[in-house]
Amino acid sequence: MANSLEEIMQRRLKDYLQSSGTISGYVEDFENLFTELEASGYSYSIRHSRQGVGIKFHSKKLDKAPEIKDFGSPFQALKTTYYRCSFGYYDNSQKDEQSDHPGSKKRRFHIKDTKKMGCDAWLTVKCVRVYDDFSISKMSSMKSLAREKLKEALQSSSPPTGHLRFYIAASIDHSHPQSLSELNMRIHPTLHKEIEKIVKSGVTSTREIQFHLKRFIDNMFGEDSVPNATNRHFILPNL
Ligand SMILES: [Zn+2]
């Protein structure tokens, strides 16, 4: 049985905190966490990212970005990456259409129909480089001075290396179908697009969508070379 998101986060995150539907904390090895999440059916895709600026001692909680509380060491904000659940694919396209065609009846139906497939779950990672050698306790000085010293050192011929930390904020709840989650099944992007096309054309019954997809896959490979049913990228979603 797959581990729950909450259980994984609680076990892996330092300074683990949970409040109003959001999990937060940090890890030193994000790759490892991400791999375990994927293996347990929590797969995320990057929505967008932002470069960080400057040397800081703390960072405010901002929209879906994690808060970094002052822990006495200066850090460089490197990059903030915003992820969404990979099953939230439809959700994003709905929003675009909603703003583009607010009055269209057909599209409104499309929005309603795909809502149950889209998962709103999100995860944000703020990657920072921490310089413990320049902590205010080690420098026995004010923050502003520690910051200046670090800036100077970073521009020197042998800059300090520091170490990485990944601050994380994530929503606890996933609303994507459990059966998909348990199988850790990922649908090939081409099928994603095709499903969207089918639904947009007005087809809403899941049986009919599956029929269209089967035909689409047959056409794609030619009947003799259709991927084996165990190739999960091409297993038809059990809608
Ligand atoms: Zn999800």
Distance 39 CA to ligand 1 centre (A): 13
Confidence band of 233 (pLDDT split at 50, 70, 90): low
In this prediction, residue 86 carries a pLDDT of: 85
Distance 54 CA to ligand 1 centre (A): 33
Distance 115 CA to ligand 1 centre (A): 12
pLDDT tens digits, 22-50 = 999 999 999 999 999 988 889 899 999 99
Distance 43 CA to ligand 1 centre (A): 7
Please give the DSSP secondary-structure letter assigned to residue 30: H
Distance 11 CA to ligand 1 centre (A): 20
DSSP string, 134-183: G-HHHHTS-HHHHHHHHHHHHHSSS----EEEEEEEEES---S-HHHHHH
Mean pLDDT over residues 141-165, rounded? Answer: 93
- Cβ atoms < 10 Å from Cβ of 103: 6
Distance 85 CA to ligand 1 centre (A): 5
Distance 86 CA to ligand 1 centre (A): 7
Distance 140 CA to ligand 1 centre (A): 46
CA dist 226 → 48, 157, 216, 236 (Å) = 34, 58, 11, 12
pLDDT tens digits, 183-194 = 445 566 677 778
Distance 15 CA to ligand 1 centre (A): 24
Distance 37 CA to ligand 1 centre (A): 11
Distance 89 CA to ligand 1 centre (A): 10
Residue count of the chain, please give it: 239
Residue 131, classed as helix, strand or coil, is coil
* ipTM greater than cut 0.95: yes
Question: How close are the terminal C-alpha atoms of the chain, in Å?
Answer: 21
Distance 146 CA to ligand 1 centre (A): 42
- Look at residue 137 and tell me whether its pLDDT is greater than 90: no
For a pLDDT cut of 90, what percent of the chain falls above it?
44
Mean pLDDT over residues 77-84, rounded? Answer: 95
Domain boundaries, the chain: 5-176, 187-239
Task: Identify which has the larger pLDDT, 227 or 164.
Answer: 164
Distance 3 CA to ligand 1 centre (A): 14
Distance 162 CA to ligand 1 centre (A): 34
Please give the DSSP secondary-structure letter assigned to residue 28: S
User: How many Å apart are CA 98 and CA 134, to the nearest integer?
Assistant: 50
pLDDT tens digits, 85-115 = 988 755 444 444 444 444 444 444 444 444 4
Distance 109 CA to ligand 1 centre (A): 22
Mean residue pLDDT of the chain comes to 80
Distance 124 CA to ligand 1 centre (A): 14
In this prediction, residue 102 carries a pLDDT of: 46
User: How many Å apart are CA 128 and CA 135, to the nearest integer?
Assistant: 15
User: How many Å apart are CA 189 and CA 89, to the nearest integer?
Assistant: 10
In this prediction, residue 204 carries a pLDDT of: 75
- Contact call for residues 13 and 26 (beta carbons, < 8 A): yes
